[in-house]
Every structure is written in C-alpha cells, then in structure tokens.
Structure 1
C-alpha cells in the first residue's frame, strides 16, 4: 500500500488493510511511506510494517530543485523496487501523495497496480498511476481519472458499523454532554480551524441560553475559552477527538471542514452537516461536499461567512428543528458508501490472484 503524507491518504489505506486481513487472514500487508509523513506515526499504531523510501515532492515552480528531480525520482524508484522485491509484493495499491508516484513507477511492468482516488480532483501521482493500473477506483464521479469505478472511500469498521442511536447515551456520557439536549459537534480537522473556533466560542452564550450543547474539538495547539451558562447544556471544548465514533454518535448536527475523509465519514453515519470548506487550494473541499449538499443532507457555508452571528441565525435554528434534521439524515445516508472497504479489498485480491 502506498498512501502517505496526510491522514486523507493514510486512513483509506489502513481501512483497506484491515478489510483485506478480515477476508484473507493469511495475507501480508506492507505500507510504503516516507519519513516526512504522518504514516510514521499512524501505520505502526495500527500494527502494520512500514517501509520508508525517499520522498519526491513536486516543485510548484521552476527552481534548482526542479533540476534535481530526475535524480531524486530514480533514487526513490530504485529503493521502492528493492522493497517490492524483498516483501514479494503481488499487487501495489496507491492512494495518492508523494510516495504513490514512486510506488507506481517502481511497480510498472513488475507488479500490478490498483489506484484509488479519494478527492474530487485527482492529483498528479494518481493521474500517472491510472495510466499504468489494472484497476482504477474513485470516491466520487468526475475525479479526472477516465473510466474510474465510483465506490466511495474505504472507512474504518468503527465508522461503517456505527449505530448512532444505539450508542448515543454512552457517547454523551463519555464526553460529559447533556443526555437529551440538541447537540452540535464542531471540529476543523486534526489541527483545528480558527474560523470555527472563533465563530462558535463567540456564539457560546446564545447556544447555551437556547438549550443547545456543543462538543468542540479546537485543535491541540489552540484553546477555546467559553463562559458556561448556568443550568444550560454543557459546552465541551477538547483538543482532539480520539473516538470519532462516539463523537458522531453524540451529535445531532456536525459543523466541520469538508475534506474527502470527513465528508465520507459524515455521509456513512448519516449525520446532518454544515460544511465549511477550507478557503485555500483549488476549491477541492467545496467539490467534496457538493454531492451531499445537492442531495439535501448538508449545507455549505464559506469560511469568510462563518461568524458567530451566522451560527446564531442559521445553525442554531437548524439543530433545534428535528423534522429538518431527520430529512437531512435520510438524504445523507443515501449519498454514503459503507461498503467501499469491502469492494476495494475484493478488487485488490482479485488483481493479486491474477
């Protein structure tokens, strides 16, 4: 498996690994990564061996770094081939990112390739890999990979098997939330999001007085100071959410960024959402959210529009309207893909067997 750098590449790979092992307990799964990425932390925690190769980041503009690219690519591809030979790889599965390009070039003509694209717009690595692959799969239509089979994103079993209603009481007790009050889950990714932090801390008093509870993951490097309204449902700030399954189960509505993994998880568990796309990049996060928004399962608010007043005027009435939330719940579930891990695993094992 090759998919490093960010959690958006690593988590689908780990979900695939877990599913392959469930289907074929005798299989061996090895992750390929670089020393720069989160894989050095996440992969060993999940119990899988990690092989490191030199990273080959693509320069965004002409520079002396661009002149050194051919040599760096050759070195990384050579090291990748050494790993493939040593572990006896039967198939290479790439999820994008720096290490995937080395994996695709190293496997070319030697080991069959399967490509999975999680984002609404495919990156350079997967565009190269798709030209060499035996199978190409994607999370959403129109990813930029012609002929890709749309299957969604492989997710952890704790997410795909989540029964929010059955876990609700336990989840709220775990986080110290009110057992019955309408509750909003707020998070901005693993590092938090300043826009969400400012808007919700600014609206905390109004939310409390309206009888709404909040579970707010503000990021480990940030802090959120709120004045608890006496007698109101708790506003619970935490640096990081270790148990996303419990966080999803505790909430009636989520307000979050719209990275590909986040949209996939929210859709799979059927949680109504307000997506606030990251304002940087090529507009990819807005594209990730669009299928769920179009289906009626979510609303979209731009980063610059999310203020404390917008929370009070739009998000507060929404979380207190159970009929609207129920319709959004049904619409969200219809866009979700709970079987993506199994579909991808079966595809990979089929290619390996051939």
Structure 2
C-alpha cells in the first residue's frame, strides 16, 4: 500500500513553495507516494495547489497576529473550529507523515496529528523561526533547517541542517545558468516584494531610482512584481518616472525572470534567498521589518558571505540606495563577484536531501 505525505501550512509563497519543492523531490525518488496539502482558505495555497493537481484541504483558520487586537481575537476564536476540521481531515487523509512548512495554517493540523501519534516534522527556512514553527517545535519529531544556528529553537526535535528545497522549474534553470557581467546597454532590475508584494518597495524604489545619474537611469529597465491588489497604487508611484518599467501583480515564470535579471531587489525570506543563491544572482535585500528580525538575520548570513547587499526597509527611497546602484552599475565586475558569493551559499540539492531523510524515516 502506498504511503501518504501531507504538507501542512502555507499562507505565503515563502512557506508554501518549499513544500511543493519537497513533494517534487519525493515524487522523483518514490513515484508511488501519495500527497495532500492542508492550508488556509485565505492563503496562497487556495489558488496554487489546485493548479498543480494535488489534493487540498482548507481550514477556516485566521492568523493570530498582523491584525492588531481584533485580529488576534478573531484568530483565537477560529482555533476551536479549525481544530475540529483538522481532526476530520486527519481521519480522511490517514497520513504516514505530516510535514509543517510554517504559516498559521500549519498549527492546528500538525498539532492534531502529533497528538494522535502520527510522525510529524517541520521545515524551517529562516534563521529565526516564525511563531507557529517555534510552537510546533515542541511537538514534532523532526526539524529540517537551513541554518545550524536555528537548532537552539528546537531542543526536543531531531534536527537536520540540509537547506531549503527549491522548485523544479528553478532547479532546471540553475543547471545551465551562469551569471554574465552586464554590458553598457540595458540594466535589467527584477523587483520581488514577496508573493504578496511590499508597499514600501512599491512606493519607495521609484524614488530611489530617480536619484540615479541621468546616463545610468536611462539604461534601467525594471520588472516589478507588486503583489495582488497593489497594481493601481504602484502605477501611481511610478507615474512620474522616466525610466522603462513593467509592473505586474505576480510573476508566473520566476525562473525566466531570474535568468533575465542583472540585479534582483527583493525581500529576504529564505525561499527567495534559496532560489537566488542556487542560481547565483546578485541581490539587494530589503528585509521585512518584523519583531523577531528573521529576514534581516537571513540577509546578514548571505551578505557576510559576499553574496549580496542589504538596506533597511525604511531606507528604500533614500539616496543610499541610489549610491549602491550607481556603484554596481559603474563597476559591473562587482556584480560578478556578488553572483559568485551568492552561488557559494546555494544548496540546490536541498530538496533531494530532505526527501531522502523523509523516505528513510517512514520506510
């Protein structure tokens, strides 16, 4: 009888896509496996997973943070119902192993499966875990990590530091990809503010780019993923610029977009970093400012290894960004060096390594 693996969590692409990548690697190693995803109705998984053809169950669960006091209350009130739903999904799916990928949707289902004695694991991409994974770390059997420093958050789990699984479409592109030094022509900047976009980058970056010297600004060609529902506000921010740009809500072919970029400007979620370092692309990281500072910690690891640059979220519109961009455009060899540093940080085989450990564990 074939075994079933359930991926729990999501909400954002940063949580969901490593789970999708792990499923791709598991399928490659054992085609007989069955898969299902458990997520939240409000999460990106509600759109992405059906398009990939996987079984999907959605919980009526809400986040406990990001909505102020009222949001926390609504999130708390959703827990009893989502717990009952999780139990129902567990009885239907009968998983052999559940792997939590983070995000608030991972909590109810993974906790329920742990209580019921099902093998449970989590994947933590970031240097500093999110609240859900910190809590689940007290319950799960295994933890698959990207940074050795993260072990301290999971003292009860068996930890393996293997990196962050990367989607097959990105891996296929990385095999033949080599970053090339930009010439004196178009300078292509890819801007990714996370799967939901980033208002600060959408509004601030055009201001920074307008501070470039005229001769450099006329070379700039921007492709900017602004996030769902943010297109109108981004267009308003770009209305008075005189450089070429394309604004889109979501980049469907991220592998192609990466390979066309001379420079990436992005958040510092570990899923993005894993993809960027697997390819070896120079990046200017703009970490999301959070209470735990996990994105800044992620970016710092890469910057210290010579694989990127970093600015604070509040600095994105400042002259410092224009100075950084001026420096790399005038010295393209520095971009080649950043690309090489990024490549050294990459772990393109992370998905297969995690998959091998999962298969050995459930065999």
Q: 1:216, 1:238 within 8 Å by CA — same for their partners in 2? A: yes
SS of residue paired to 2:275: helix
Aligned residues: 340
| Contact 1:188 1:218 (8 Å CA) reproduced | yes
**2:136 counterpart of 1:122:** no
* Residue 105 (structure 1) aligns with: 111
1:181 aligned onto 2:192: no
Q: Against the structure 1 CA distance between its residues 57 and 276, is the aligned structure 2 distance closer, same or farther, given a 3 Å change threshold?
A: closer
Distance 1:197 1:62 in 2: 27
Q: TM-score w.r.t. structure 1 length?
A: 0.84
Are residues 207 and 242 of structure 1, via their aligned partners in 2, closer, same or farther at CA, if it must alter by over 3 Å? Answer: farther
Matches within 5 A, 1:26-175: 26-55=32-61, 57-58=63-64, 69=76, 73-108=79-114, 109-143=116-150, 144-146=153-155, 148-163=159-174
SS in 2 for 1:148: strand
What is the RMSD computed on CA atoms of the aligned residues?
3.1
Cα–Cα, structure 1 residues 62 and 308, in superposed 2: closer, same or farther, change >3 Å? closer
Which structure has more strand as a fraction of its residues? 2
- 1:135-176: CA deviations, max 9, x gaps? 21112232322353222211111212324875989xxxxxxx
Q: How many angstroms apart in 1 are the aligned matches of 2:278 and 2:106?
A: 26
CA distance in 1, matches of 2:301, 2:178: 27
Distance in 1, matches of 2:280 and 2:34, equals 33
- C-alpha change, 1:130 and 1:192, in structure 2 (3 Å) is closer
Q: How does 1:235-254 map to 2 (within 5 A)?
A: 235-239=244-248, 240-254=250-264
Matches within 5 A, 1:273-284: 273-284=283-294
Q: Is the 8 A contact 2:104 2:132 kept in 1?
A: yes
| Range with bigger deviation, 185-194 or 262-271 | 185-194
Pairwise CA distance, 1:89: 1.0
Secondary structure, counterpart of 1:29 in structure 2: strand
How far the C-alpha of 1:128 sits from its partner, in A, is: 3.2
Deviation string, structure 1 residues 56-113 (Cα, Å, up to 9, x no partner): 64369888976995x8545433332332232231111111222222122211243101
Question: Normalising to structure 2: TM-score of the pair?
Answer: 0.82
